[in-house]
Copies of this chain bind each other. A is one copy, B any other.
């Protein structure tokens, strides 16, 4: 196990009806609120009016930034930054999924920075201050509700990049499983793939002797596998929605990478794909991850054997380690297919025209990943296998 620091300052408020605490949770931070949300589904579900009621109850002055995109764009973030400056915003409230929260974080960092917010994604500047943010989560997926990371897309340059800071942890996040009852099937699927992929990135590590972190990761995967299918069968099943949400939060709240070197190469590759094609993140990950696994599993075979046996209950009797490992990878692909996620770039309309460019962008700062360091040739090989 490596040394590490575990320090998560987000207050997670979980359960049915917890939106009723929103006013009281925001109150300490000020009265000028920027409300950030997405395509307007929160108006159809009635969540929007509940949130407005809460804000009214504390006498808040509310500005709104609707229309955050599934891959949130720099132009939209800049709109939010303008509002913050013009209206003296004191607190940003994100109501939505990971994209809305990520946009809110970038706005929070950009509002108090005199330069271009994109600087934070290219290490041209570090985040030294940020407006406080809070969230009401409506989708089990990114885990952005309990960490300090944000992913933003520059649509003009076709670049998708991350920024992060301890200052971007939400002050609170309200997670109410009933708010996810109306999440459409494809978004539920993408959320499931996203959560599992986050775990993969931190589970397939070369760091030795981390049994607890591995058990936690396996526990999250097993919970998602089981409850994901249940939530797809019945979207209004409280328990499976709740279990998915909790798993999604724990997959990205700092629990899994304590003392572990994580990989993240597949995320880097996926970002290059979805930056060009505006593909939902979960679809890109579903296509790529089993191919990454096949490309790297021999680098630490026993970890993949453990994965197959503990997560997928592969019976290892009379099989070689290689066979057991491949069976687990196959089970991963089969699960993704069973829940309706795509398996190839071709079926989402992506051909080989930009693979070279994606590979170049992916390794622009050098080889990526840590389980196996991937060169441009490795990335190209994974992309070709994904066609």
Q: Which residues of A contact B (CB under 8 A)?
A: 1-18, 208-212, 215-216, 218-220, 222-223, 226-227, 239, 242-243, 246-247, 250, 255, 258-259
Contacts and interface: CB of A to CB of B under 8 A. Distances in A.
Contacts of A219: 212, 215-216, 218-219
A313 B60 CA distance: 56
A239 B209 contact: yes
Given A14-B258, A14-B259, A212 B247 contact: yes
A217 to B, nearest CB: 9
A222 B208 CA distance: 17
B16 A211 contact: no
Contact of A215 (B2, B16, B18, B218): B218
A212 B245 CA distance: 11
A383 B7 CA distance: 41
Contact of A223 (B7, B16, B18, B211): B211
Given A222-B211, A243-B212, A14 B9 contact: no
A272 to B, nearest CB: 32
Contacts of A6: 11-12, 14
A215 B222 contact: yes
A259 B239 contact: no
Nearest to A15: B3
- Tallying the copies of this chain within the complex gives 2
Contacts of A208: 239
B209 A243 contact: yes
Nearest to A213: B246
Most buried by B among A209, A211, A239: A211
Contacts of A1: 239, 242-243, 246
Contact of A4 (B4, B15, B220, B255): B15
Contacts of A218: 215, 219
A25 to B, nearest CB: 11
A173 to B, nearest CB: 10
A174 to B, nearest CB: 10
A171 to B, nearest CB: 10
Nearest to A250: B212
B9 A5 contact: no
A216 to B, nearest CB: 6
Contacts of A222: 211, 215
A228 B220 CA distance: 24
B212 A215 contact: no
A246 B227 contact: no
Nearest to A2: B15
